[in-house]
Amino acid sequence: MSMQTGTIAKLLTQPTAGERARQRVNWTMRILVGVAAFLAILPLIALIAFVLLQSAPFLVPSFFFNNPLDTSPGILNAIVGSLQLTGLTVLISGPIGIAGGVYLSEFASPRVVAIGETAIDVMLGVPSIVAGVFAYLILVPVLGFSGWAAVVALSILTLPIMMRSTQEVLRLVPQAIREASLALGVPVWKTALFVSVRTALPGILTGVILAFSRALGETAPLLMTARGTNAENWLDFSTTMNAIYQYSAAADDLLIGQAWATALVLMAIALTINVLVRGRTVNSRTA
Amino acid sequence: MAGLELRRTGGLSADSLFRRITGTGLLVLGVALVGLIVAFVGYSNPLWAIQSPIDFLTSATWSTGTIDENGQVVDALYGALGALFGTAATSLIAVLFAAPIGILAAIYLVEFAPPRVSAPLTFIVELIAAIPSVVFGLWAAGDLSNRLRDTIEWWIASSFGRFIPFLSEDPESPAADSVFRAGFLLAIMILPMVVAVSREFIRSVPISLREGYIGMGATKWEVIRDVILPTARIGLIGGVLLALGRAIGETVAVTMVIGNAEGVPSSLFQPGQTVASKIASNIAEASGEIAIGSMAALGLSLFLLTTMISLAVRVLIRRFAFTGGRA
């Protein structure tokens, strides 16, 4: 009798061979997914470490304040050019994108929303080089190679980003506060602007900043637009930090070193923007 | 939310003015989209006057021709097969590596990692997406490419190269650039996208489904295999497709490591080119409406590819919203 109870207890507590196999698979997979997660972050570590090592000797103050042809060469003109180009892009596509997002969220009929969202999806998927070729086809014959064509190309890329993020954050604004405002007799446009947009403003600005960061890092559209701007252009932003592209095949060690240092600056700006923005809104789904 | 417009007043009230101003924003996007299509079709037209789109898609010869005594361009043939092959090969290699690792990493982040590991890890993966592609290119050209050549590429070539010529490489003098290395770099670049989208869809699988299966005695992995992956399947496919679209359009980083060689390479470990890298390296010298037309045709093929992917993802995700997952 007691032996039987012992056997039953043993059967209950001791896993069968099948169960052990299932547990083994479970643990193997647990390790495997952990390894996959580690592999996913490995490139970032390797990349940052390598760029830091390569560029450290070139990161002297004069690098940031001198131009490439000075005796101790720097990238001041490229930094200024990048900021001008990106700033102008955001100035142009920002208001348009936000306006479109407001329309989609506040006014559009379901049919228009469906069409508009499809258009945004398609535009979000347009590769940056395609936007560049577009600007090259329609603007370069008129303007010549110029930063303005680059602004148009970059605006095409940032416009859907801002429209999507604006629409998404406006969607999160509770309908009740819109209704409260309308019930008080506030006109529709004031309600949209000072209630809906005002409430969603931090989220909208996050979208703008992420679009800025995207435009800052784009190189492909610049290859066929900004390159070779004529000097008479009043704003010379033909040179940006992305011009390091040309240095990668350079035989000159100094040029290559500068390319690494420029890459570090570019990466540092992009990462800082993202850390600041995403740190605030951890679960942002705008990108 | 269309119900905001409660009253219609005649004439141009402040409300309808505001409505029109914001509507213009959406209109600009529409005009840009239509403009893209019109421009690419219109500017590629001169090319179709001298050759058919079939030649463009099936010939691997890319020749700007010669100028005869009358000043006319003769013997020009723009065949994009080599570039199309490179685009297909690099983006499929990218997905081959990024999809399993990305989905498994997303599973780890959602199902296994404790919150204090999961949050920073997710954050770090998202940061990879913020790195400009030119920086990836510089890193790959200066470091990663050689490492790949001496490790994964060497391993594949020495184990399969003898039987499959397409995976062979001369161990004495490996090529300076290769299609495979460009594809692997793309895998790293699209990984954050796969992880981010997969994570969203895995998270959206209802907790009650997991609990039901655990209650039946399933192990954690069995829950993932039998409940989570099947439920999130459509979303995961959508995420991989999105990443594929990103890989197809990636230009600068690929141009820096693929070698930009004409034609279809004899092996994955030989230099090649993609549609995007071909545009990037040829557009500066393009002159004359036929040569520019060839660039427009390349741009058009990229645009059509990515548009098809965007629309497919849209349909898939909508189906996901209908069939479950987000209960």
Q: What is the ipTM of this complex?
A: 0.88
Q: What is the mean pLDDT of each run of 10 residues along chain B (327 residues)?
A: 50 83 94 95 90 87 78 79 92 95 94 89 86 88 84 81 75 80 94 92 90 90 92 91 93 88 84 91 83 92 94 85 50
Measured at the CA of B239, the angle between CA A95 and CA B210, to 5 degrees, comes to: 120
Cβ atoms of residues B242 and B262 within 8 Å: no
Report pTM: 0.88
Which CATH number goes with the domain that contains A173? 1.10.3720.10
By the CB < 8 Å criterion, does B291 face chain A?
no
A26 and A142 both lie in a single domain: no
Question: Taking the CA atoms of chain B, what radius of gyration do you get in angstroms?
Answer: 24
CA distances for A163 relative to A88, A90, A201, A221, A278, angstroms? 17, 12, 13, 21, 19
Q: Do B113 and A37 lie within an 8 Å CB cutoff?
A: yes
Nearest to A129 among B141, B245, B249 (CB): B249
Closest partner residue to A217 among B23, B133, B191, by Cβ? Answer: B133
pLDDT of residue A33: 92
Does residue A180 sit in helix, strand or coil?
A: helix
Q: Cα(A163)–Cα(A172) distance, rounded to whole angstroms?
A: 15
CB contact under 8 A, A282 and B299: no
**For residue range A237-258, what is the model confidence (pLDDT) as tens digits?**
455 666 666 555 555 667 777 7
| A32 plus A79 within the same structural domain | no
Contact B134 A30 (CB under 8 A): no
- Residues of chain A neighbouring B124 (CB-CB closer than 8 A): 41, 44
Domain check: are A102 and A13 in the same one? no
Same domain, A48 and A65: no
Do A143 and A203 lie in one domain? The reply is yes
Question: Residue A265: what pLDDT?
Answer: 87
- Chain A positions touching B200 (Cβ under 8 A) are 285
Confidence band, pLDDT 50/70/90 cuts, at residue A229? very low
Same domain as A191, residue A98: yes
A115 shares its domain with A209: yes
Kindly state the DSSP code that residue A231 receives in the 8-state scheme: T
What average pLDDT does range A89-110 have in this prediction?
A: 94
A162-186 per-position pLDDT tens digit: 999 999 999 999 999 999 999 999 9
Its domain, for residue A153, covers 59-280
Q: How far is CA A221 from CA A82, A241, A252, B184, in A?
A: 13, 13, 26, 23
Q: Which domains does chain B have, with CATH numbers?
A: 20-77 (no CATH), 81-323 (1.10.3720.10)
Q: How far apart are CA B295 and CA A279, in angstroms?
A: 41
The candidate with the shortest Cα–Cα distance to A176, out of A196, A190, A194, is A196
Instruction: Write the DSSP assignment of A3-66 as a string of letters.
Output: HHHHHHHHHHHSPPHHHHHHHHHHHHHHHHHHHHHHHHHHHHHHHHHHHHHHHGGG--HHHHHS
Total domains present in chain A: 2
pLDDT of B27 reads 95
Cα–Cα distance for residue pair A186/B192, rounded to 1 Å: 44
Q: Which residues of B225-256 are buried (b: 16+ CB within 10 A; e: fewer)?
A: eebbeebbebbbbbbbbbbbbbbbbbbbbbbb
Q: Do A50 and B17 touch (CB under 8 A)?
A: no
> Is the Cβ–Cβ distance between B42 and A220 less than 8 Å?
no
For residue B73, the cross-strand partners are B67
pLDDT band, very low/low/confident/very high, at A233 (cuts 50, 70, 90): very low
Label residue A81 by pLDDT band (50, 70, 90): confident
In a shared domain, residues A129 and A32: no
What's the mean pLDDT in A73-86? 79
Q: Are residues A110 and A51 in the same domain?
A: no
Rounded to whole angstroms, the Cα distance separating B175 from B154 reads 11
Chain segment A8-43, per-residue pLDDT in tens: 777 677 778 888 888 899 999 999 999 999 999 898
Question: Do B105 and A33 count as a contact with CB atoms less than 8 A apart?
Answer: yes
